[in-house]
Structure 1
Amino acid sequence: MATIDVFHYDVPAESDFGYSQAIKSGDLIHISGQLSLDEAGEFRSPDDFAAQLKQTYVNLDKVLDHYGVTRSQVVSQTVYVVDLRRNAAATAEGNLAYFGDHRPVSTVIGVTELTFPGQVIEISFVVDTKLPA
């Protein structure tokens, strides 16, 4: 029988929107879309793609660290980008820098807006804990 492990940052948005940052069920970890929230759950760096991308990856790493897994165990990612044509190159560059030689499956979706005014990127992962770290 699979066990379920739920992870929260304990920030207001989790209860306001009714979601978890991540859920581990069996060998898989599903990580909610991460964005440029600080430790208090406040949105930071409106309209600054580079700063938001950097903080989004920091937040993804916090979730991976919580479960004791690494980037090389990410099997799938979904990336939501406002103004994708303008931000496509920076998205690709950030992805290559973050993953190095690892190549998870990836879907990049251009959107007109995200949750917070000035939010320009959000990324979610699926992680397989059975893959080598």
Structure 2
Amino acid sequence: MKKIISSDKAPKAIGPYSQAVRSGGLVFFSGQLGINPETGKLAEGGVKAQAEQALKNIRAILEEAGAGVENVVKTTVFITKMDDFQEVNAAYSAVFSGDFPARSCVAVHQLPLNALVEIEIIVAL
């Protein structure tokens, strides 16, 4: 049985998907862009600012799911330029430390809203 998880502290979905879905002991998060939920716009200041906002959005949904960053077992990071890898790592390392979750990072041609970064996670409860 699945349960839809959503938070008003994170941006609403910009398409036909849920912010997160719980199935058994796992929670699957849709990719989060660096959208400020108060303005509905991408964070200004480049890829690091967008990554920081995407991670804030993730933390808000984690809270709604009754979890924290320590429950994250896998992340996938999508960036539009591999040159941005270090800046995204700086934002990522400020949230995840110590026992890092498994991670993939993929450079893609384009993201929704012309975002520079998108981050999705899987959580084990």
TM-score range, shorter chain: 0.7 to 0.9
Shift of 1:126: 0.3
Confirm whether residue 61 of structure 1 aligns to residue 65 of structure 2: no
Q: 1:120 to 1:12 in 2, by over 3 A?
A: closer
Confirm whether residue 102 of structure 1 aligns to residue 99 of structure 2: yes
Where do 5+ consecutive residues of structure 2 fail to align?
none
Shift of 1:43: 2.5
SS of the equivalent of 1:68 reads coil
Determine the structure 2 residue equivalent to 1:72: 70
| Segment drifting more, 89-98 vs 35-44 | 35-44
Q: 1:12 to 1:54 in 2, by over 3 A?
A: closer
Over the residues paired in the alignment, what is the CA RMSD in angstroms? 2.1
Confirm whether residue 31 of structure 1 aligns to residue 26 of structure 2: no
Which amino acid in 2 is paired with 1:22? A
Q: 1:69 to 1:9 in 2, by over 3 A?
A: closer
Shift of 1:114: 0.4
TM (norm. structure 2) is: 0.88
TM (norm. structure 1) is: 0.83
Matched residues, number = 124
SS of the equivalent of 1:43 reads coil
Shift of 1:9: 4.6
SS of the equivalent of 1:116 reads helix
